[in-house]
């Protein structure tokens, strides 16, 4: 952990103290910065990354708002780019959580730039498009973004928060989510930022939806591989390489690995996440089982209003 007396971080901490804040409990407080809400822990590091992170043109950025399928995207992208690096039985995904295979800009790289030397070009982030470190856009590196129906994102986040931090009433969590007070939220603004950028720069930004990935994993996997400049060859197709990747990264397979049943992610961080919290049930439409009809209507209404004329829908 960095030295708390570090002058650079002190500067960010001072800046954060001047920002609009939401919440009472220091563990849950959110700060509004560049129109999005962040926890103190992430915001210090995002500010640091904005100033110091240097992207390389060969980097491939995996971006998402939390609970939209990040873990799955990391596993798939990692499998694609390392498919000729290991024997099947030695694949790091069998013994490490996908989040431990791809460095995270806000934490791993903000504090420790050498963490990027992992023999693959993947880097992940939850930073909204508008707040990305400038070098990510300037370097021309590729960005892959994944998003998901807001109703399922909300339920997934609520269940995650209850498991990892403390139980919070559904109604209270729902009000916060609808008001945009969601880690890295407002969620739909996060999505729209990347959506608009992907329309402007389709060769640089690949925009994916969790629902499409579930419905047709194979064609989305091929799109991903091609976008990353590593399409499957005819020989690989004949040898079933893409099928193997899909199986390796499937919810059923990953969630049943010992590392994901009993391991922990970032044991040194203020909040340690058990790896099994990243795998709940991995279904589309599970929000139906948790939201009242009014809640569903309310979120559908917000979605309709926010996404109107954008060309995006869920």
Catalytic residues: 126
Residue from 50, 63, 68, 125 in contact with ligand A3P (CB under 6 A): 68
* Residue 77 engages ligand A3P in binding (rule: CB under 6 A): no
Residue from 13, 32, 54, 66 in contact with ligand A3P (CB under 6 A): 66
Contacts to ligand A3P from residues 131-190, by CB under 6 A: 152, 156, 159
Cβ 168 to ligand A3P, closest distance in Å? 15
Cβ 9 to ligand A3P, closest distance in Å? 26
Segment interacting with ligand A3P, rule: CB under 6 A, options 33-41, 136-144, 188-196, 246-254: 246-254
107 DSSP assignment: I
Q: Strand order in 36-38's β-sheet? A: 21-22, 30-33, 36-38
Cβ 79 to ligand A3P, closest distance in Å? 11
* DSSP β-ladder status, 36-38 and 60-64: unpaired
For residue 280, the number of C-alpha atoms closer than 13 Å in the C-beta half-sphere is 19
In this structure, are residues 34 and 130 in contact, taking their beta carbons and an 8 Å threshold?
A: yes
Helix (H, G, I), strand (E, B) or coil at 250: coil
Q: How far apart are CA 154 and CA 285, in angstroms?
A: 11
**Total residues at interface with ligand A3P (CB under 6 A):** 22
User: Closest Cα partner for 227 from 141, 127, 139, 99?
Assistant: 141
Residue 229 or 270 having the CB closest to ligand A3P: 270
Contacts to ligand A3P from residues 252-291, by CB under 6 A: 254, 278-282, 286
Contacts to ligand A3P from residues 86-125, by CB under 6 A: none
Residue 64: exposure state from Cβ atoms within 10 A (0-12, 13-18, ≥19):
buried
Residue 43 or 93 having the CB closest to ligand A3P: 93
Q: How far apart are CA 176 and CA 157, in angstroms?
A: 12
Residue 272 or 281 having the CB closest to ligand A3P: 281
Residue from 63, 70, 79, 97 in contact with ligand A3P (CB under 6 A): 70
Q: How many C-beta atoms lie closer than 10 Å to residue 306's C-beta?
A: 16
Cβ 99 to ligand A3P, closest distance in Å? 8
For residue 40, the number of C-alpha atoms closer than 13 Å in the C-beta half-sphere is 18
Residue 64 or 131 having the CB closest to ligand A3P: 64
Positions touching ligand A3P (CB under 6 A) are 64, 66-72, 75, 152, 156, 159, 249-251, 254, 278-282, 286
């Amino acid at each position: 952990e960095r030295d708390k007396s570090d002058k650079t971080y002190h500067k960010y901490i001072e800046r954060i103290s001047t920002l609009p804040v939401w919440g009472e409990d220091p563990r849950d407080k959110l700060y509004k910065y560049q129109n999005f809400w962040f926890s103190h822990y992430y915001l210090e590091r995002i500010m640091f990354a904005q100033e110091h992170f240097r992207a390389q043109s060969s980097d491939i950025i995996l971006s998402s708002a939390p609970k939209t399928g990040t873990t799955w995207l990391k596993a798939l992208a990692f499998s694609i780019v390392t498919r000729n690096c290991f024997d099947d039985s030695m694949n790091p995904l069998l013994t490490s959580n996908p989040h431990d295979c791809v460095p995270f800009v806000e934490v791993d790289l903000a504090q420790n730039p050498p963490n990027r030397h992992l023999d693959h070009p993947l880097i992940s982030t939850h930073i909204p498009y508008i707040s990305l470190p400038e070098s990510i856009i300037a370097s021309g590196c590729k960005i892959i973004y994944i998003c998901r129906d807001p109703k399922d994102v909300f339920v997934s986040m609520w269940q995650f928060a209850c498991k990892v931090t403390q139980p919070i009433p559904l109604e209270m969590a729902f009000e916060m989510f609808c008001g945009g007070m969601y880690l890295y939220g407002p969620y739909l603004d996060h999505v729209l930022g990347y959506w608009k950028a992907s329309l402007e720069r389709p060769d640089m930004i690949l925009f994916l939806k969790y629902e499409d990935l579930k419905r047709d994993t194979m064609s989305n996997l091929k799109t991903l591989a091609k976008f990353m400049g590593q399409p499957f060859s005819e020989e690989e197709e004949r040898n079933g390489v893409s099928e193997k990747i899909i199986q390796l990264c499937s919810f059923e397979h990953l969630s049943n690995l010992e590392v994901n049943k009993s391991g922990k992610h970032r044991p040194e961080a203020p909040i340690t996440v058990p790896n099994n919290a990243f795998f709940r049930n991995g279904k589309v439409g599970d929000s139906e089982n948790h939201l009242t009809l009014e809640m569903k209507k309310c979120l559908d209404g917000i979605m309709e209003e926010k996404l109107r004329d954008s060309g995006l829908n869920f």
